[in-house]
Amino acid sequence: MRNLPYARQDISQDDVDAVVRVLRSDWLTQGPVIGQFEDAVAAYCGARYASAVCNATAALHLACRALDLGAGDLLWTSPNTFVASANCALYCGASVDFVDIDPRTYNLSVDELATKLVRAEKIGRLPKIVVAVHFAGQPCDMEAIGALARRYGFAVIEDASHAIGARESMAAVGSCSHSDVTVFSFHPVKILTTGEGGMLLTNRAEIDAKVKLLRSHGITRDPSLMDEPSHGPWYYQQTELGYNYRITDIQAALGLSQLARLDAFVGRRRMLARNYDLLCGGLPIVLPYQQANVQPSWHLYVVRVPGDGRRTRNEVVANLRENGILVNVHYIPVHTQPYYRKLGFQVGDFPEAERYYDEAISLPMFFGLSEADQDRVAGQLRNILS
Ligand SMILES: *Cc1c(COP(=O)(O)O)cnc(C)c1O
């Protein structure tokens, strides 16, 4: 029987043709397709501006730079995320702290956030940025987080690496209605792919301008953005310390072609999630929580195996993997990573995220997964657990 990964891309003949067209064109990078891809994602999400970059990690870094995060500043995020959601602060010389998760959605808990803000205000250590991660494609309560942002004066970045195509109260994730910036990842395990790639969306013109400058060395060729007069048509001017975080036209062509299938990708994932709910309903495991007014994108379908610490979960993972079902675990709480422990964090600091980690399993979830594959996964779970 074939191995079932937890995630994989789906590449169509149209995707291949779109990439080949760019390979035969005049520009492999910095050509016309990047702008078309940006405009299409911005239109899909209902955001004013979009900037495609080489990956979501770079996008998070640029978002922090554009929001002026620097030494002495604080960024807060969820411990239940990929390390990049926190590392972006350290790149800027700022510090990181975490807000423990909601035991049902596994997103950063808005109650914990509110409590922590009260304490932080008293001691004068409010965050400059909060990174809200839409874990597994379940949108955070952005209205509540946006209200806290206005009350306490912090900026909000949505790390929507899992959540392109998700909706909250009918608004598409990426509209930035309650945030300053939204970031998407186009890594092959995510909802849609460009190989490597990422995008930043914003409704704020000054953030968009800064991101577009910083993604290409802090260099401009636009005389209206220069600090000093142009020397001539060859002239460019560096006005900031930027990076080479550009995406290529080759990648943008793949992304634009994949975007045409985004609704199909997410629709299929929603069907697969409902089917897992039915197949796993009777098992002694905790299924994903369904929030009201939310349509997740289902990047991950996570079940929890309650047990004594990690032992039961580890046995289930080992058994599934021995049977070719290559499940994964998302996420090792960031504060428990050795690098973060060296910064002063300890096991025990964020108990809800740690308890969750001990019990979580990400079942196979991708566009090409069949109902027969799901029967196999659920059947194996039934064998182990009953
Ligand atoms: C994948 C991921 C990232 C990083 O994305 P890259 O495009 O690989 O840099 C950041 N945050 C979260 C939550 C992710 O899942």
Q: What is the CATH number of the domain that holds 304?
A: 3.90.1150.10
Q: From the alpha carbon of 190, which atom of ligand 1 is closest?
A: 1
Looking at the structure, do residues 135 and 244 belong to the same domain, yes or no?
yes
Whether 55 lines ligand 1, by a CB cut-off of 6 Å, is yes
**79: Cβ–Cβ under 8 A, 6 or more apart, which residues?**
98, 100, 101, 333, 334, 335, 336, 349, 350, 353
Looking at the structure, do residues 253 and 104 belong to the same domain, yes or no?
yes
Which residue out of 9, 64, 85 has the highest number of ligand 1 atoms within 8 Å of its CB and is therefore the one to mutate? 85
| Number of domains composing the chain | 2
DSSP letter at 137 equals G
Q: Are 166 and 296 in contact (CB under 8 A)?
A: yes
Whether 187 lines ligand 1, by a CB cut-off of 6 Å, is yes
Tell which of 259, 291, 310 closes a domain.
Answer: 259
Domain limits for position 293: 262-385
Looking at the structure, do residues 307 and 283 belong to the same domain, yes or no?
yes
Residue whose C-alpha is closest to residue 105's, from 147, 156, 171, 163: 163
Q: Measured between alpha carbons, how far is 330 from 193 in angstroms, rounded to an integer? A: 20
- Segment 47-67 shows an average pLDDT of 98
pLDDT of amino acid 170: 84
Whether 185 lines ligand 1, by a CB cut-off of 6 Å, is yes
How far is ligand 1, taken at its centre, from the CA of residue 63, in Å? 14
Residue of the CA atom closest to atom 10 of ligand 1 = 84
pLDDT of amino acid 311: 86
How far is ligand 1, taken at its centre, from the CA of residue 190, in Å? 9
Looking at the structure, do residues 119 and 234 belong to the same domain, yes or no?
yes
Q: Is the pLDDT confidence value at 386 over 90?
A: no
Q: Measured between alpha carbons, how far is 105 from 103 in angstroms, rounded to an integer? A: 6
Looking at the structure, do residues 340 and 254 belong to the same domain, yes or no?
no
Tell which of 220, 241, 259 closes a domain.
Answer: 259
Whether 57 lines ligand 1, by a CB cut-off of 6 Å, is yes
How far is ligand 1, taken at its centre, from the CA of residue 121, in Å? 30
Whether 159 lines ligand 1, by a CB cut-off of 6 Å, is yes
Which residue out of 187, 196, 247 has the highest number of ligand 1 atoms within 8 Å of its CB and is therefore the one to mutate? 187
Looking at the structure, do residues 107 and 238 belong to the same domain, yes or no?
yes
Looking at the structure, do residues 316 and 220 belong to the same domain, yes or no?
no
Residue whose C-alpha is closest to residue 246's, from 29, 28, 20, 23: 29
How far is ligand 1, taken at its centre, from the CA of residue 57, in Å? 6
Q: Is pTM beyond 0.85 here?
A: yes
Which is higher by pLDDT, 222 or 301? 301
Whether 82 lines ligand 1, by a CB cut-off of 6 Å, is yes
Q: Is the pLDDT confidence value at 223 over 90?
A: no
Looking at the structure, do residues 19 and 65 belong to the same domain, yes or no?
yes
H or E element in which residue 114 lies? helix 110-122
User: What is the tens place of the pLDDT at every residue in 96-149?
Assistant: 999 999 999 999 999 999 999 999 999 999 999 999 999 999 999 999 999 999
Q: From the alpha carbon of 133, which atom of ligand 1 is closest?
A: 13
Name the percent of the chain lying above pLDDT 70: 100
Looking at the structure, do residues 270 and 198 belong to the same domain, yes or no?
no
How far is ligand 1, taken at its centre, from the CA of residue 326, in Å? 20
Q: What is the gyration radius of the CA atoms in the chain, in angstroms?
A: 21
Looking at the structure, do residues 266 and 240 belong to the same domain, yes or no?
no
Q: What is the CATH number of the domain that holds 32?
A: 3.40.640.10
pLDDT of amino acid 169: 86
Looking at the structure, do residues 69 and 21 belong to the same domain, yes or no?
yes
Looking at the structure, do residues 242 and 283 belong to the same domain, yes or no?
no
User: What is the tens place of the pLDDT at every residue in 63-91?
Assistant: 999 999 999 999 999 999 999 999 999 99
Tell which of 224, 259, 294 closes a domain.
Answer: 259
Q: Is the pLDDT confidence value at 309 over 90?
A: no
pLDDT of amino acid 308: 83
